[in-house]
Structure 1
């Protein structure tokens, strides 16, 4: 599998585990806890595999960027979190940074 594809999948799984953690009830709810742990492990494994051929700084920044943006979008769309203009601007800056890093490594 391509390193960028693995990194993207790792970032998407980061969204899953972060949202799952919100629903664990402090690790008292089995299903969200299991989903959170399993998706975090899979995310870390994919990140580690991608790091075999990508620079660590770039890969980590992209992984975190995908996760942060994805969790923020889920928070806005599904959890009723704020979509204030400045928050959207900051999220847009994250997207720009992730795209810039990808272009620099291409």
Structure 2
């Protein structure tokens, strides 16, 4: 697997993480069968993509980038889909997460 493909799979895993979090919200504690099944399938897909990415990328970097994409993406999902609020403090914290993810990519050694 190429380095670029590993990064692509890592980004895919992050986006699947966002979708999984949304499905978890919609499955209402696993009381809605269709959303429960969707959430489990998304979870399996994101773990598979992440598992392939860490074959090539450093696990610490991959994990931090994956969780960063998932965290920021899930906040955006909450804002757009679930009408959650975003205050200045949360915005600053999100900027710190994004900065950390970008820094890890820029300082990557492999």
**1-structure distance, mates of 2:104, 2:58:** 11
1:39 has 2:42 as partner: yes
1:97 has 2:105 as partner: no
1:1-106 paired onto structure 2 within 5 Å: 2-105=5-108
TM-score, length-scaled by structure 2: 0.92
- The two structures, once aligned, show a CA RMSD in angstroms of 1.1
The C-alpha deviation readout for 1:50-99, integer Å capped at 9, x for no partner, is 00011111000000000000000111122111110111111111111111
Q: Runs of 4 or more off by more than 4 Å in structure 1?
A: none
The C-alpha deviation readout for 1:36-56, integer Å capped at 9, x for no partner, is 101110000000000001111
TM-score, length-scaled by structure 1: 0.95
Paired residues in the alignment total 106
Q: Which runs of 5+ in 2 are unaligned?
A: none
Question: Which range moves more in the overlay, 48-57 or 76-85?
Answer: 76-85
